[in-house]
Amino acid sequence: MSTELTVLAWGCVLALVHIFTAVRFKTRQYGTAWNRGARDEELPPPQPIVGRLARAQANFFETFPIAVAAILIVEVAGRTDRWTAIGALVWLAARIVYLPLYAFGVPKVRTVVFLISVGGIALILRAALFG
């Protein structure tokens, strides 16, 4: 399997980490009865970490489909190369680093890491668009 597809598989694992980390902290605040219930009731405002993890998850799912599409395009088109592999690895590494940075509320570095992840996607799209 190519590096790009391996990264994509690990990206799926990271997506699950985002989901379960966010719900773990939300359940810790609101309780297991909330987690198992219909979740129709009004809730008090989330604790800061609960909000940050929800926003980190939303941010991941805003860019993950773009990374998936870019990787699948270069794979199907046979345009993978050293730079698409590097781009995929940069994207994944940055997204892994991004989660704890957001969870701990580190503002400026988090933004730089986000931009690095976008740069990784750009490396993949370069091959998709310009061969």
What's the mean per-residue pLDDT of the chain? 96
∠109-11-52 over CA atoms, to 5°?
40
Q: Is the pLDDT of residue 8 over 90?
A: yes
pLDDT band at 115 (very low <50, low <70, confident <90, very high): very high
**What is the CATH architecture assignment of 3-39+47-130?**
Up-down Bundle (1.20)
C-alpha to C-alpha distance for 40 and 65, rounded to whole angstroms: 29
Q: Is the dihedral of CA 13, 94, 70, 87 positive or negative?
A: negative
C-alpha to C-alpha distance for 125 and 131, rounded to whole angstroms: 9
Residues 120 and 90 sit within 8 Å (Cβ to Cβ): yes
Output the pLDDT for position 45.
93
H helices present in 37-106, as ranges: 48-76, 82-103
pLDDT in tens, 22-57: 999 999 999 998 889 898 888 899 999 999 999 999
Q: Provide the percentage of residues in the chain whose pLDDT is more than 70.
A: 100
Residues 84 and 2 sit within 8 Å (Cβ to Cβ): no
Output the pLDDT for position 101.
98
Output the pLDDT for position 40.
86
pLDDT band at 77 (very low <50, low <70, confident <90, very high): very high
pTM of the model: 0.94
| Mean pLDDT, residues 9-16 taken together | 98
Q: Is the pLDDT of residue 15 over 90?
A: yes
